[in-house]
Chain A
Amino acid sequence: MTDRAEQVEQLCELDRLKTDFVSSASHELRTPITSIRGYLDVLVEGEAGPMTDEQRSFLQVADRNAHRLQTLVEDLLIVSRIESGRLQLSVRETDLVAAVRRVAEGLAPQIKQAEVSLVLDMPESVTLRADERRIEQVLVNLLSNAVKFSPDGGLVRVQVVERAGVVRLGVTDQGIGMPEKDVRRLFEKFFRSTTATERSIPGTGLGLAICKGIVEAHGGSISATSAVGEGTTMTVELPRADQEESR
């Protein structure tokens, strides 16, 4: 074996070890977080005795942060699964349009709070073979990003079109956008656009890396176009049929 081949092999092994480490660390973090949230919930619900409003609101802050931690841990687990090729899909007939509606409904409070108008430009239904839960995860990510980066009163448009066996989903916002150099790195894990960090908009930089992993596991692709101060469009393309059953 040449030196170079050996080096490559060592690096790959190192990368596998790192992925394994992230995966087991995340598993170990899960249980205590579940416990913390469960006990906080008992207290907040007043099941262990009455709470003053202030006590309850402090516990809610603790729970909100535990929830953040839990989301981060779950995201890290998915990223490590994607990286090690162990992301399992339960593929079945899925209506993408219905999924968009469900996700939009779930995000209604955030949409309302951000004073954003959501426009859904979709046919009655578009079915494809996909892992419904994972696809919803992608939709939650894209829609909540669009809302998060929108100005008050901004417009978010979701478009679904089907053509020649390809289903295309577009999510367009009129938000802060980002420069071309950021667009190129947008799907790298932990990468955050300068326009987001400058404004201290919270985020982990994992959401779009996860979206990319999920979409690609479905045999599809994801891309972005953006202009600073004008907005961003995220485009997902998924094959309509003849997909792999599962991975």
Chain B
Amino acid sequence: MTMESDQSPPTVLVADDEPDILDLVRFRLEREGMQVVAARDGREALELAREHRPDVCVLDVMMPKLSGLEVLSRLRRDPQTAELRVIMLTARAQESDVEDGFDSGADDYIIKPFSPQELRQRVRAQLVR
């Protein structure tokens, strides 16, 4: 799917427990013409992913209730959501978690602190795949 050819805007689920960061990411992706669904913890992320079937999910690894990695593995286990594109957000110190993330089937990961441009590019890259 490409943003140019698709009629409806692509939907991106963003999950981060830091509301200020979440608002900022939402602001920037919406300016890119994407529709953003925001979740503030892992459980909400899982529910919204099942409900909206977003084109891309951006999940923070460290989240209350359910970690991003746990959300990822539950999405992958459920045939309804197994094919969703998932990008993990992770702090530098958790790089070994990132490898775990790939094992549990993440499509990409971004290391924090990331630039808005980087996020935009990675999300776009998943959208055109």
| Chain A residues at the B interface, C-beta cutoff of 8 Å | 30-31, 34-35, 37-39, 41-42, 47-48, 70, 77, 88, 90
B75-100 vs A, Cβ < 8 Å mask (1 yes, 0 no): 00000000000000001010110000
- Whether B113 lies near A30 (C-beta < 8 A) is yes
The CA-CA distance from A48 to B113 in the complex, in Å, is 21
- Whether B116 lies near A41 (C-beta < 8 A) is yes
- Output the nearest chain B residue to A39 by Cβ-Cβ distance: B24
Partner of A34, one of B93, B96, B112: B112
Contacts of B93 in A (CB 8 A): 77, 88
The CA-CA distance from A48 to B30 in the complex, in Å, is 12
Is B20 an interface position by the 8 A CB rule?
A: yes
- Whether A34 lies near B21 (C-beta < 8 A) is yes
- Chain A residues touching B, majority SS: helix
The 7 closest A-B CB pairs, nearest first, are A35-B20, A38-B24, A34-B113, A31-B18, A35-B21, A47-B31, A39-B24
- Output the nearest chain A residue to B99 by Cβ-Cβ distance: A90
- Whether B28 lies near A47 (C-beta < 8 A) is yes
The CA-CA distance from A37 to B27 in the complex, in Å, is 15
- Whether B112 lies near A38 (C-beta < 8 A) is no
**A88-B95 in contact given A30-B113, A35-B18 (Cβ < 8 Å):** yes
Residues facing A in B53-112 (CB within 8 A) are 91, 93, 95-96, 112
Contacts of B116 in A (CB 8 A): 38, 41-42
Total number of residue pairs linking A and B with CB closer than 8 Å: 33
Q: Looking at the assembled complex, report how far the CB atom of A28 sits from the nearest CB atom of chain B, in whole angstroms.
A: 12
The CA-CA distance from A37 to B91 in the complex, in Å, is 17
In the complex, 7 of the A-B residue pairs with CB atoms within 8 angstroms, ordered by the A residue number, are: A34-B21, A42-B27, A42-B116, A47-B27, A47-B28, A70-B113, A88-B95
| Chain B residues at the A interface, C-beta cutoff of 8 Å | 18, 20-21, 24, 27-28, 31, 91, 93, 95-96, 112-113, 115-116
The CA-CA distance from A30 to B113 in the complex, in Å, is 9
Contacts of B24 in A (CB 8 A): 35, 38-39, 42
The CA-CA distance from A103 to B24 in the complex, in Å, is 31
Contacts of B96 in A (CB 8 A): 88
The CA-CA distance from A41 to B115 in the complex, in Å, is 9
The CA-CA distance from A15 to B95 in the complex, in Å, is 27
Q: Looking at the assembled complex, report how far the CB atom of B34 sits from the nearest CB atom of chain A, in whole angstroms.
A: 14
Q: Looking at the assembled complex, report how far the CB atom of A106 sits from the nearest CB atom of chain B, in whole angstroms.
A: 15
The CA-CA distance from A48 to B31 in the complex, in Å, is 10
The CA-CA distance from A49 to B20 in the complex, in Å, is 19
- Output the nearest chain A residue to B21 by Cβ-Cβ distance: A35
Contacts of A30 in B (CB 8 A): 91, 113
Q: Looking at the assembled complex, report how far the CB atom of A25 sits from the nearest CB atom of chain B, in whole angstroms.
A: 15
The CA-CA distance from A31 to B24 in the complex, in Å, is 13
The CA-CA distance from A102 to B109 in the complex, in Å, is 24
Contacts of B31 in A (CB 8 A): 47
Q: Looking at the assembled complex, report how far the CB atom of B87 sits from the nearest CB atom of chain A, in whole angstroms.
A: 17
- Output the nearest chain B residue to A34 by Cβ-Cβ distance: B113
- Output the nearest chain A residue to B24 by Cβ-Cβ distance: A38
The CA-CA distance from A31 to B18 in the complex, in Å, is 8
